[in-house]
Chains A and B, each alone.
Chain A
Amino acid sequence: MAMEKFIKHTGTAIPLRRSNVDTDQIIPAVYLKRVTRSGFEDGLFAAWRNDPDFVLNQPQYKSGTILVAGPEFGTGSSREHAVWALQNYGFKVVISSRFADIFRGNSLKGGLLTVILPQEAVEAIWTTIENDPATSITVDLETRTVSYGSTTIAFDLDDYTRWRLMEGLDDIGLTLKHTDAIDSFEAKRPAYKPKTLPIRI
């Protein structure tokens, strides 16, 4: 599916001071029964949101669009619903020092920008936004930087992914341009490779 272009985002941020935030916390399995791509915001951090003190429930963080989380964010299941839940809730960016591979892949396919910063930089942002929740943070894909106040931090993202995000390109459409290459690869596949059809039982 084509996605919204991501070039630059400015917003306020929410500190989530936890490591190993797994996809079962981001969205518990009971919320995965829907067959649509929308409406998953009610499941986002569902168990934690029962706690009135949970950071998402604090009024000063109500309008945050950038989530700043501890290391190993998104471990566990491959459920892309975790990305949809964050997006449906209104997040545009997640910042962490480490993301689980599948979650990161899903986020970048779906247009939720996951930014990897050193843990010290994450800690500095936490301190800043805890002191002043209204701090405006800009995440710029053009320059590959996160900036707030007088601080600017560069982050890495490979050129190809950056280009895809900035153009909002449909991955499938890109691959289908290489159908000839797929055809010729298939023509050379060995005959002993298994097929699911016709059914053998």
Chain B
Amino acid sequence: MGKTLAEKIWEDHVVRSADGEPDLLYIDLQLVHEVTSAQAFDGLRLAGRKVRRPDLTIATEDHNTPTLDILKPIADPVSKLQIDTLRNNAKEFGIRIHSLGDADQGVVHVVGPQLGITQPGMTIVCGDSHTSTHGAFGAIAFGIGTSEVEHVLATQTLPSSRPKTMAINVEGSLKPGVTAKDIILAIIAQIGTGGGQGYIIEYRGSAIRELSMEGRMTVCNMSIEAGARAGLIAPDQKTFDYIKGKPHAPEDFEAAQKYWETLFTDSDAKFDVEITLDGNTLEPFVTWGTNPGQGLPLNASVPNPAEIKDSEERGAAERALEYMGLTAGTPLKNIAIDTVFLGSCTNGRIEDLRAAAAVIEGKKIAPKVRMLVVPGSERVRQQAMKEGLDKVFLDFGAEWRNAGCSMCLGMNPDQLAVGERSASTSNRNFEGRQGKGGRTHLVSPLVAAATAIRGTLSSPADL
């Protein structure tokens, strides 16, 4: 019997396997950031251990960093200590770091691909659940905790039990105005936040193949929101073209590509689970609740919990509506928002900024709406400025910031205040995720842009 893509990559990385034990998996690349690494480096120091492969490790600063005045000392002393700790650890252990102000600083999952360090057939880890982003290149990439970060630093391996495999086939072609973000939000709404638990998802089908590399990254990024260990997409010519010319593209590109071309699921391979979605009928999707599975097409209305059969889900929906301050039956398009966030490892790439800029160009932001545009990396920011996108956003009335995780998580200065409501291109709508008491609706960059114009949840078709 043939093998799935995930099985092929997994087997290529097994250092050691023994009955009744997890496989010892070799890790090709570890990405490091300030929030989940300090205690790992401490652990190494306590045990007198070194980093085994600094040359397969790279660090940047993103979660806890400001997006204004980035060259001034960080105002919050606790945040400053965390950043300084990463810088000191990088120096002590000989790890490459891209700090605030550096041309290659940015959200860790934007930095890897743009450097060309993310390549097909790799195993990639990071102390961040959105590491699944890198699966867009046909890699097994997953988030790990700090103990595992330390384990990989010390050994360049990770004991891991082999996940099951799931295929999600999205066939057909997306309608105009429907994006990668809508695909993944629709998938999560269908299979639930635990639907992918224990699986590596392979996204397949014509609607996936038609996506750009940026779009594929958006889909794989939110695999974790479906509970999956990882998500990946078989590499193709688009993948190879994206890597070619990047700083860390293989010198012997031909040899690498020859291997990459073997990375697909064999026609006679069997997935543990297969799910199919019709790409032709997908609509712009938004979330109404407090977990990413609580989403609906933008044309729908806030659901009535009383109509939900499952008691657990019904209770969750009741609590979500209370937290979100929403009434059942309200058309989603009537929901007024006060903040729009365009950015994050989900939708902070150049293509996302271009898409939103094209919608708002020549228009004015709705009164009382604040819009933050936060490029995923300094390189994305530079590219956008070269294309004049910064001017488009500023003329519109948005704020143009420096790169970082920003408002995706309420950790740095960019946060929602109590009761504020955002349309956000990020990945999580948990209670308080964007700031204590803040309310989040997850949307695509196109919906974010149209919403900023109208002040209520909208798609470009509503303009």
Q: Which residues in A have some Cβ–Cβ distance to B below 8 Å?
A: 1, 18-20, 22, 24-25, 28-30, 32-37, 47, 70-72, 75-81, 83, 98, 100-102, 105-106, 109-110, 158-160, 171-172, 174-176, 178-179, 181-182, 185-186, 189-197, 199-201
Question: Given A35-B39, A160-B20, is A181 in contact with B15 using a C-beta cutoff of 8 Å?
Answer: yes
Contact B431 A47 (CB under 8 A): yes
CB contact between B194 and one of A71, A83, A106, A192 (< 8 Å): that residue: A71
Contact A172 B82 (CB under 8 A): no
- Residues from chain A with a CB closer than 8 A to the CB of B251 are 192
The 8 closest A-B pairs by CB, nearest first: A106-B145, A80-B145, A35-B38, A29-B411, A78-B143, A192-B256, A192-B250, A197-B55
CB contact between A201 and one of B104, B194, B409, B428 (< 8 Å): that residue: B104
Contact A24 B431 (CB under 8 A): yes
CB contact between A1 and one of B129, B150, B194 (< 8 Å): that residue: B150
Question: Given A78-B36, A172-B154, is A190 in contact with B58 using a C-beta cutoff of 8 Å?
Answer: no
Give bound CA distance, A101 to B164, whole Å. Answer: 12
Q: Can you show 26 pairs from A to B with CB atoms below 8 A apart?
A: A1-B43, A19-B315, A24-B430, A28-B432, A29-B410, A32-B35, A33-B78, A33-B82, A34-B82, A72-B193, A72-B227, A75-B291, A77-B143, A78-B36, A78-B144, A79-B36, A81-B146, A102-B142, A106-B147, A109-B148, A171-B159, A175-B154, A191-B252, A193-B28, A195-B56, A200-B248
- Residues from chain B with a CB closer than 8 A to the CB of A102 are 129, 142-145, 224
CB contact between B255 and one of A18, A77, A171, A192 (< 8 Å): that residue: A192
Contact B431 A175 (CB under 8 A): no
Question: Given A22-B291, A33-B78, A172-B49, is A101 in contact with B197 using a C-beta cutoff of 8 Å?
Answer: yes
Question: Closest approach, in angstroms, between the C-beta of B152 and any C-beta of chain A?
Answer: 10
Residue of A nearest to B156 (CB): A182
Q: Which of B152-167 contact A (CB under 8 A)?
A: 154-157, 159, 161
Contact A196 B78 (CB under 8 A): no
20 other A-B residue contacts (CB within 8 Å) besides A78-B143, A175-B24: A1-B47, A29-B63, A32-B35, A32-B64, A37-B39, A75-B193, A78-B127, A78-B144, A80-B146, A98-B197, A101-B227, A101-B228, A172-B47, A175-B154, A175-B155, A178-B16, A181-B16, A192-B252, A194-B116, A196-B248
Is B179 an interface residue when CB atoms closer than 8 A count as contact?
A: no
Contact A78 B28 (CB under 8 A): no
Report B106-142 CB contacts with A as 1/0, cut-off 8 Å.
0000000000110100100001110100000000001
Contact A83 B411 (CB under 8 A): no
Residue of A nearest to B197 (CB): A101
Question: Closest approach, in angstroms, between the C-beta of A24 and any C-beta of chain B?
Answer: 4
- Residues from chain A with a CB closer than 8 A to the CB of B15 are 178, 181-182, 185
Is B367 an interface residue when CB atoms closer than 8 A count as contact?
A: no
CB contact between A192 and one of B21, B85, B148, B259 (< 8 Å): that residue: B259
Contact B157 A109 (CB under 8 A): no
Contact A25 B430 (CB under 8 A): yes
Give bound CA distance, A171 to B99, whole Å. Answer: 31
CB contact between B29 and one of A80, A192, A196, A201 (< 8 Å): that residue: A196
Report B177-204 CB contacts with A as 1/0, cut-off 8 Å.
0000000000000000110011000000
Question: Given A175-B155, A175-B159, A185-B15, is A79 in contact with B148 using a C-beta cutoff of 8 Å?
Answer: no
- Residues from chain B with a CB closer than 8 A to the CB of A76 are 129, 224, 428, 430
Is B363 an interface residue when CB atoms closer than 8 A count as contact?
A: no
Is B285 an interface residue when CB atoms closer than 8 A count as contact?
A: no
- Residues from chain A with a CB closer than 8 A to the CB of B147 are 1, 80, 106, 109-110, 171
Residue of B nearest to A100 (CB): B227
Question: Closest approach, in angstroms, between the C-beta of B252 and any C-beta of chain A?
Answer: 5
Is B101 an interface residue when CB atoms closer than 8 A count as contact?
A: no
Is B275 an interface residue when CB atoms closer than 8 A count as contact?
A: no
- Residues from chain A with a CB closer than 8 A to the CB of B410 are 28-30
Is B241 an interface residue when CB atoms closer than 8 A count as contact?
A: no
